[in-house]
Structure 1
Amino acid sequence: KNLRILEAQVDKQGPYFNGEQFTLVDSTYAPLFLRMKHLFDTVKFYEPEELPRIKSWSENLLVLDAMKNSVVGDFSEIFRHFVRRKGNGGYIDTLMG
């Protein structure tokens, strides 16, 4: 539901939240999108095709060098381990199996 609300706010042309200019909104959401991407590899908790603006926006953010260089090489495994450890018994943990 919340992603659908956000979808309606994202600029139609992109590539960023407000259009051509990278803003604080983009820098705030980029880490969230990175974590969503790594979780999505394990848990399909939304359908990206149903949120085309968010899908495009997140893809545009995740290809930035700053994002690629912001985490260690095995971040995906570290993050999944963190979710399992800290979220023991939580919603995402139960989806991860």
Structure 2
Amino acid sequence: MSQPITLVSHLLCPYVQRAAIVLLEKGVPFTRKNIDLANKPDWFLAISPLGKVPVLQVGEAAIFESAVICEYLDETQAPPLHPADPLARARHRGWMELGSAILNDIAGVYSAPDEASLQLKAQQLAQKWAQVEAALSGGPYFAGVEFTLVDAVFAPVFRYYDAFEAIAPLRANLSLAPWPQIEAWRRALAQRPSVQQAVVADYPQRLLAFLQQRKSFLGALLQPAAASCTL
């Protein structure tokens, strides 16, 4: 791109990570501009009608919503991360939507006020993961040896499980162990340079601190385990 690229972001947002991963996969130079979502500046609200990150600034133009940003980058920058076949591309977009639905269920897990509510969300997650497991074959990535936009969507999802699986009372119900293909996919994505570089070095500590600060059942479980860290 000849125009300067800025990714307006927040240090913990998984949707920001999607956009960062795609930019890194395509080798597009960009700068990051982190904002405080609890105190959104006026300039940000002027370019983000929904008041959410990420926003991709391309010169003077602003693009909002992570899915739109990823699609724009894939249409304008090589190498393509969507399949060439229209039917396969449409199916991949569907799995990307499922990735967003899983993120919503994860938010329900860390916001659940009691154990019963958390277990309900865990069951909903298990149903979705069973569908994902059935769709995988061969690996190491979602569609085989080629990294795609589906991988960019799911890589940030797996980071939550590092925190969940550190909590003994949750290991049985919030674990990916029942799905070996998903576990292998998770490990492969964790080794991808773009995935590693999409977050700051102390991201795991920041995520633990964020979860600990939730006034929820999960937050209470995390109180003794979370590292001291400020967002």
TM-score bucket (shorter structure)? 0.7 to 0.9
1:78 Cα deviation from its structure 2 partner = 0.7
Which stretches in structure 2 are left out of the alignment for 5+ residues? 1-125, 224-231
> Quick check: which has more Rg, 1 or 2?
2
Matched, 1:31 2:163: no
Give the aligned partner of residue 96 of structure 1: 222
1:77 Cα deviation from its structure 2 partner = 1.3
1:71 Cα deviation from its structure 2 partner = 1.7
User: Greater strand share, 1 or 2?
Assistant: 2
- Identical aligned pairs, as a percentage? 26
- TM-score calculated relative to the size of structure 2: 0.37
Contact 1:39–1:80 under 8 Å retained in 2: no
Q: 1:47 to 1:66 in 2, by over 3 A?
A: closer
Cα root mean square deviation, aligned: 1.9
Give the aligned partner of residue 65 of structure 1: 193
Count, aligned residues:
93
1:39 Cα deviation from its structure 2 partner = 3.1
User: Greater helix share, 1 or 2?
Assistant: 1
Contact 1:17–1:26 under 8 Å retained in 2: yes
Name which structure has the greater RCO, CA cutoff 8 Å, separation 6+: 1
Give the aligned partner of residue 15 of structure 1: 140
1:81 Cα deviation from its structure 2 partner = 0.9
Q: Distance in 1 between matches of 2:157 and 2:207?
A: 12
Q: Distance in 1 between matches of 2:144 and 2:176?
A: 23
Contact 2:211–2:222 under 8 Å retained in 1: no
